[in-house]
Amino acid sequence: MCGIFGCILRKGDAAPIIHSALKRLEYRGYDSVGEATLQQEKLLIKKDEGKIDEVHALHNLDDLPGRIGIGHTRWATHGAPSRVNAHPHTDCTEKIAVVHNGIIENFLQLRRELEELGHLFQSKTDTEVICHLIEEEMSGGKPLAEAVRGAVKRLDGSYAIAVLSTSEPDKIVCVRKESPLALGVAEDAVYCASDIPAFLPLANKSVILQDGELGMLKDEGYELRKIDDWSLVTREPEVIDWTPEMAEKQGYPHFMLKEIHEQPLCLRNTLRLQEQYLELMTTFLDRAGEVFLVACGTSYHACLAASYMFSKLAMLATYPVIASEFVEQHGRAVNIESTILAVSQSGETADTLAAVEWARKRAATILGLTNTIDSTLTRVSRVYICQQSGPEIGVAATKTFTSQLSVLSQLALRLAKKRGKISHEEIEDLEEKLEHIPNIVDTIIESQEEKVKQLAKKYRDKDCFFFLGRGVSSASALEGRLKLLEIAYAPSIAYPAGESKHGPISLVEAGFPVVFLCPRDGTRKTIVGNIMEMKARGASIIAIIQEGDEEIKGLADDYLEIPEGLPEILSPIPYVIPLQLLAYYMAIERDLDPDKPRNLAKSVTVQ
């Protein structure tokens, strides 16, 4: 997830405006930055690796002439952070400049085609193909906007782009497909940006581009057209009533809630990961002697859930291990036959890296799953996958957890296919259901959020909570517990439900809240038994159930519903959403700041 910006000013230089707008977009990505302006039909570009302040100190981002320009702050997905991979990218003639937010899935095939036509590529990014495609279209005589239209029609994936060209120096052309894009309209200027915060101090009216729409920004304002049939779209600007602080959270009161709501988009991104890395990692897992899934905190819970997926789908036994215990628990057994799949959204957690380092020294194979390209984990991994969730600002991991689960389940499915452990029909069915998960998460947030708010209000004064689940849901229970504990400071205990009667049940008394995860899977009969055990001791049962599950509805004091049609092995993704919301609203009820819980850090880089 990157931030793009563009502006056409009646007077004055665009560069300082672009610089400050990118600062307001920096939470979207901060590993490299760049801008381009047009002056006397010449394209002027400044870009480099590093945070905006660092690049500004080196290159002075305010010092570029021209009243028309575009800018970009990057969260690397394809091609490590570097000057050559920073945006804007240009075509062979350096007459066209493009900034992009999103993922071009078919960029490798397009690149090969364009190279055969003689185009020379500078960077390792997916974005650069767009510049050369526009160049191809324009060399056929098309005006800029139609050339951009022709180019984006060749693209698969998600994109918000802004384009400058020296042949039409009075315009910016921008297009949206899935990645967000908004126009800002002011008396003496017009802007385009990944979101409203970028131009909020400059314009109080905005126009949101819909998927498949192209915007042409000119001195006299903007024109919108549909990419499909090139028909004109009329849309009046709407007044924006946000404070800048609010804007950075896109109208959400906290980053955590914003990131919970971003999960459908992030999950769609995980379904577009580069085939070759998924395949390569699957091959390494297939060849592995033994596999350790190593991580901390929420990432460890993703590993625990994955151990059920690998076993059930691919009959691969894996060892989920809390990183800080790895050396003590398995250190001496690790050898050249061992494979470590280290999971870390930051890619910088010291305990996880220490476990990896120990194993590397014993010739083990290191695989990495992270959300941060160019993080240390990417550098020590034989193969790594970047999960494309974009920056996560809230200290408590939410969107990165469900994205980790999506990637891990895809690996388990691929391994099952490679090993022929389950039938093709089953694999196709699971793949189709995985594609459907982003919509299901959308529905859960829409249909259950209000109910969760009421639950948080009802149980806000409770001293302690239980989270119980069976099978893969025991991982979801642990994650639900961690969220409530770390965000709302509510003492909470999670157990595989079967284990609860071997001790923890002694805590239960009348009104004691017990959260049960009850997907309709092979554990259903026994989970109903556990609910009865807790009810017999007066517990208040909060059940996360599949829609229309009348039996458990009848047993529960409160319940939250998950849409039908999900294979049990993928249930941790949707079933954790209500638990994330419960922790968030419980923190609000207790007047706590969900974004900055006490004593915690987003990434602990000390052991």
How far is residue 261's CA from residue 577's CA, in Å, rounded to a whole number? 10
The terminus-to-terminus CA distance of the chain in angstroms comes to 29
CB of 482 to ligand BG6, least distance (A): 8
Contact 356, 294 (CB under 8 A): yes
CB of 483 to ligand BG6, least distance (A): 9
* Catalytic residue selected from 2, 131, 174, 266: 2
Cα angle at 479 between 477 and 483, to 5 degrees? 120
Asked if 484 is part of the footprint of ligand BG6 (rule: CB under 6 A), the reply reads: no
Span from 99-107, 245-253, 339-347, 511-519 in contact with ligand BG6 (CB under 6 A): 339-347
DSSP string, 466-479: EEEE-TTHHHHHHH
CB of 581 to ligand BG6, least distance (A): 17
Span from 105-113, 156-164, 295-303, 511-519 in contact with ligand BG6 (CB under 6 A): 295-303
CB of 275 to ligand BG6, least distance (A): 25
Asked if 82 is part of the footprint of ligand BG6 (rule: CB under 6 A), the reply reads: no
Residue at shortest CB range from ligand BG6: 297
Residue placing its CB nearer to ligand BG6 in the complex, 288 or 303? 303
CB of 28 to ligand BG6, least distance (A): 18
Q: What secondary structure, in 3-state letters, does 429-463 show?
A: HHHHHHHHHHHHHHHHHHHHHHHHHHHHHHHCCCC
CB of 349 to ligand BG6, least distance (A): 3
Among 346, 387, 409, 523, binds ligand BG6 (CB under 6 A): 346
Tokens of 284: 């390494």
Span from 16-24, 49-57, 296-304, 331-339 in contact with ligand BG6 (CB under 6 A): 296-304
Q: Give all strands (DSSP E) within 75-212, no chain letters.
A: 89-90, 96-104, 157-165, 172-177, 182-186, 189-193, 205-208
Which of 491, 511, 502, 479 has its CA nearest to residue 578? 479
Give Cβ neighbours of residue 423 (< 8 Å, ≥ 6 apart).
Answer: none
SS3 at position 355:
helix
Q: How many CB atoms lie within 10 A of CB 464?
A: 12
Q: What secondary structure, in 3-state letters, does 128-154 show?
A: HHHHHHHHHHHHCCCCHHHHHHHHHCC
Draw the binding track, 161-180, toward ligand BG6 (x: CB under 6 A; -: no contact): --------------------
Asked if 596 is part of the footprint of ligand BG6 (rule: CB under 6 A), the reply reads: no
Residue placing its CB nearer to ligand BG6 in the complex, 397 or 586? 397
Residue placing its CB nearer to ligand BG6 in the complex, 149 or 301? 301
Which residues between 372 and 411 bind ligand BG6 (CB under 6 A)? 395-397
Cα angle at 361 between 355 and 365, to 5 degrees? 75
Give the bridge partners for 366, in sequence order.
340
Residue placing its CB nearer to ligand BG6 in the complex, 336 or 606? 606
Span from 134-142, 237-245, 293-301, 528-536 in contact with ligand BG6 (CB under 6 A): 293-301
Residue placing its CB nearer to ligand BG6 in the complex, 333 or 601? 601
**Which sign, positive or negative, has the C-alpha torsion 465, 471, 473, 475?**
positive
How far is residue 176's CA from residue 298's CA, in Å, rounded to a whole number? 33
Contact 34, 45 (CB under 8 A): yes
Asked if 476 is part of the footprint of ligand BG6 (rule: CB under 6 A), the reply reads: no
Distances (CA, A) of 480 to 28, 265, 416, 442, 560: 27, 22, 28, 19, 14
CB of 69 to ligand BG6, least distance (A): 35
Contact 33, 61 (CB under 8 A): yes
Taking every pair of Cα atoms in the chain, the longest distance, rounded to a whole number of angstroms, is 81
Which residues between 297 and 336 bind ligand BG6 (CB under 6 A)? 297-299
Q: Count of residues binding ligand BG6 (CB under 6 A)?
A: 17
* Catalytic residue selected from 205, 418, 453, 602: 602
CB of 301 to ligand BG6, least distance (A): 8
CB of 285 to ligand BG6, least distance (A): 20
Asked if 531 is part of the footprint of ligand BG6 (rule: CB under 6 A), the reply reads: no
Span from 52-60, 290-298, 354-362, 563-571 in contact with ligand BG6 (CB under 6 A): 290-298
Among 318, 349, 365, 389, binds ligand BG6 (CB under 6 A): 349
Among 457, 551, 601, 607, binds ligand BG6 (CB under 6 A): 601
Span from 87-95, 162-170, 231-239, 597-605 in contact with ligand BG6 (CB under 6 A): 597-605
Span from 9-17, 340-348, 429-437, 548-556 in contact with ligand BG6 (CB under 6 A): 340-348
Residue placing its CB nearer to ligand BG6 in the complex, 397 or 562? 397
Give Cβ neighbours of residue 303 (< 8 Å, ≥ 6 apart).
Answer: 293, 294, 295, 320, 321, 341, 343, 408
Which stretches within 185-262 are classed as H helix? 244-248, 255-261
Contact 383, 375 (CB under 8 A): no
Among 84, 216, 246, 604, binds ligand BG6 (CB under 6 A): 604
Contact 480, 494 (CB under 8 A): yes
Asked if 357 is part of the footprint of ligand BG6 (rule: CB under 6 A), the reply reads: no
How far is residue 126's CA from residue 520's CA, in Å, rounded to a whole number? 41
Asked if 600 is part of the footprint of ligand BG6 (rule: CB under 6 A), the reply reads: yes
2 is catalytic: yes
Residue placing its CB nearer to ligand BG6 in the complex, 11 or 598? 598
**Amino acid identity, position 12:** G
SS3 at position 359:
helix
Among 138, 296, 355, 452, binds ligand BG6 (CB under 6 A): 296
How far is residue 29's CA from residue 394's CA, in Å, rounded to a whole number? 14
Among 73, 345, 473, 523, binds ligand BG6 (CB under 6 A): 345
User: Which positions touch ligand BG6 (CB under 6 A)?
Assistant: 296-299, 344-346, 349, 352, 395-397, 600-604
Residues forming the active site: 2, 602
